[in-house]
Every structure is written in C-alpha cells, then in structure tokens.
Structure 1
Amino acid sequence: MMSTVTQTPCVGRPRAFDTDDALAKALEVFWRKGFEGTSLTDLTQAMGINKPSLYAAFGNKEQLFLKAIELYEQRPCAFFYPALEQKTAYLVVESMLLGAASSLVDKSHPQGCLIVQGALTCSEAGQAIKDTLINRRRDGEIALCERLQRAKDEGDLPADAEPLLLARYVGTVLQGMAVQATSGICPNELRKVAELVLANFPRNDES
C-alpha cells in the first residue's frame, strides 16, 4: 500500500509525497554512488524532497541507507535467497550464478551489487554501514553453507564436499562478478564465468 508523508516547503501549502517512490529513488542513488559517495543534496534532489522532510520520513542518511538495503534485498529480481529454494545444490548455485550474470549487468538499474560495493571503504563515520554490509554478506555465506550442508547430508553432494569452502568459493565468485559488472564486462562474458564455475561444481553422478 502506498504511504505518503506531508512535506512542508518554505512557502506555499504542504504537499504529500510517496515515501515508497522516494525510497526507491534513494536506493538508485546509493547503488550508483555508494554510501559515502552520496551526499544529502544528491538524495534530496533525486527524491524530490527537502532535508527536513527526508529526516522526518526516514531519519538520517545512515538510517535511509539501511532502509534502502532492505528494499534492495526485496526486489523482484533479487536472486540470492530465492535460489536457496532450488531442489539440488547444483541448481541452487546455478540459479545464483546465472541470476547474477543477468541481474548485475541489467541496464534498467545501476550495475553491480549494492551489498558488495556500497561501502567497501569508509571513513570512521561510515564504519557502522561498512560493518552492516559485511554482516549481510556473512549472513548470505552462512545461509548458503547451511543449504549445501543439507545437500551433503541428503547425499546430493559428494561425501568429501566441504560446504563452508564451497559457500565461500561461490560467494567470492559472485562478488567478483559484481566488480566486473561495474567495469563494463559484457553479459555474455559474465555468463561464461558462471558456466565455468558450474562445469567444475561437485556433483554426485545421479544428481
């Protein structure tokens, strides 16, 4: 359901703005420029509101960024967590890698991954944001490790497979793909990277 907040400009009557739309616009700015590369002026101009309205609706810049991260992870084209529902470990990783190869270079939004690149380097003031993104990436690794461990327990992965190492390997590849996407790699080349990983992914003969 659309939510609105009343904005009070310097002159004239108050007007309402769509907070969902404003947050989506803030997300795009953060995605393109990163947390520290984004100024409050960048945000207010993109969102079409003034600073008092931004603070009233979303809190400070850090709080707005965290709300944008939540929205980012809920996008219909988000591929990581939905992939965990696939029936086999191979299909899980295939869905992640091919999803990344498609989404990371989708021209309808900024390139790359906000979770990976939103705050790779930060000043002390932005350390909490950097730590938050590190924890998000770690949460993803844990979730994938748990899914791969279940696959091993069910005989879907070979007995000598190492779920934690595999999860870190796939996570490292996904993060590298995100960086390559921002460097202008073509979609076909990114897909070839995914296919190379899949060709070497451990599988039982019957899986």
Structure 2
Amino acid sequence: MAQRGRPRRFDRDIALQVMMEVFWARGYEGAQLVDLTAAIGIAPPSFYAAFHSKEAAFCEAVDHYIATVGAKPRQALDSGATLRDGVEGMLRASIDVALSARPGGCLLILGVVNCLPENETARGYLRAARDKTRELIRARLERARTAGELPSRFDTLQCAAFLHGVTQMISFHARDGANRAELEALIAPALRALSFNVQA
C-alpha cells in the first residue's frame, strides 16, 4: 500500500509575502478572511492558529512590507552621496514602490482608509510606521545639517514633514492612475525644499 505524502510544510515567510500583497491590493477593510486563507492555502482554523486574528496578521504583514518593499526608499535616502542625491533616490524609489503593484500606492499610506472604530488598532499601527518614516527623514536632514550641507537654522522638522507628505502624494496619485512621468514631475519641486526651507 502506497504511503501518503507528507503534508506541505507551512512557510510563514511565503504566507506573509502573499498576505502582504492581498492587503496591499485590497486594504485592511477590503481583505476578507476568505481572501487571506485562499491566498495562502490554509483553512481558517490553521490561519487562527498561525496568526491569531486578521488584525495580527495585518500587523505582521506590514512589518514584512517595511522590511522588504518599504526598505528601498529608506536605503536610497541613506546611501546617497549627498543629501540631495539621497532625497531624490528616496522619491524615485517611492515611485517604484507605488507603481510596482496594482492598484498602486503604498501599503503604509493606503492600507487602512476608513476610520471605523473597529479598525483603530490597524490604523494606529500604520500611523506609527509612518511616524517612524518621517523621523528617519528628519534624522537624515539632521546629519546633513551637522555636516554643513544645510544651513544651521534649517528647519529639519518642517522639511521632513513636507518630504514625507510628498511620498504620500506619490502614493495617492499612483492609486489614482498617474504614470511614472507624472509622478517623477513631483521630484524637482520637492528638492527645492532643501534650498528654501530656512527660517528667517
């Protein structure tokens, strides 16, 4: 009598990648449990055993996004030979991310759209991730100011908020169907903030 084959081993990293793509495409509200279980090929009891809840799965998928797809703009910002190169690289990488999946945009910005009370934990998780991104931008600006690339009175807090807002604009425009040329047209105006953001 032939022996049964072993059941396929559950690969958590692959499951997180797949769930990330589902949440990215449909958002937290739009992604139903049936979508997630079908995408990763497990039954609801196994899903709850592995991830405990849709909310917990979403937060883990967001962490996976930050460590993989979302790391590219941050890496570009930090690896630029100059601050201007780094900021331009960050914006170009943000465009690449925003156009890399359909319907477009960034999971950290568009993952939770409706402010329903039951979605507050997921929304707060994304907000904390966005706050961290803004602080990373400010830290890069601070290093540039210390190195003399920016004037000593340059307002790094305001500029970081502005540049972070540009990345959000890229995400929303990509979701609305903007093409690469339209998104890249935002880069030059954004870079001007590095020259004119000086307090009187």
Which TM-score applies when normalising by structure 1?
0.84
Aligned length: 191
- Equivalent residue, structure 2, for 1:194: 187
Residue 63 of structure 2 aligns with an amino acid whose one-letter code is E
Structure 1 position 60 matched with structure 2 position 67: no
Is this contact kept in 2: 1:35–1:65, CA < 8 A?
A: yes
> Which structure is higher in helix share?
2
Is this contact kept in 2: 1:28–1:110, CA < 8 A?
A: no
- Gap change, CA 1:196 and 1:147, over 3 Å in 2: same
**How many angstroms apart in 2 are the aligned matches of 1:19 and 1:159?**
48
Pick from 101, 105, 110 the counterpart of residue 99 of structure 2: 105
- Equivalent residue, structure 1, for 2:122: 129
Residue 84 of structure 1 aligns with an amino acid whose one-letter code is D
Structure 1 position 92 matched with structure 2 position 117: no
Residue 86 of structure 1 aligns with an amino acid whose one-letter code is G
- Equivalent residue, structure 1, for 2:64: 71
**How many angstroms apart in 2 are the aligned matches of 1:122 and 1:24?**
25
- Gap change, CA 1:77 and 1:36, over 3 Å in 2: closer
Displaced runs of 4+ in structure 1, greater than 6 A?
none
What is the RMSD of the two structures over their aligned residues, measured on CA atoms?
A: 2.1
- Equivalent residue, structure 1, for 2:172: 179
**How many angstroms apart in 2 are the aligned matches of 1:15 and 1:106?**
30
**How many angstroms apart in 1 are the aligned matches of 2:156 and 2:134?**
10
Residue 128 of structure 1 aligns with an amino acid whose one-letter code is T
Once the two structures are superposed, the pairs formed by residues 139-158 of structure 1 within 5 Å of their partners are 139-158=132-151
**How many angstroms apart in 1 are the aligned matches of 2:69 and 2:115?**
29
- Gap change, CA 1:103 and 1:14, over 3 Å in 2: closer
CA deviation profile, 1:140-171 (whole Å, cap 9, x unmatched): 11121122112112211123321111100000
**How many angstroms apart in 1 are the aligned matches of 2:52 and 2:70?**
27
**How many angstroms apart in 1 are the aligned matches of 2:179 and 2:32?**
30
Moved more, 70-79 or 25-34: 70-79
**How many angstroms apart in 2 are the aligned matches of 1:66 and 1:76?**
15
CA deviation profile, 1:97-135 (whole Å, cap 9, x unmatched): 11112221125x651100011113232111011111111
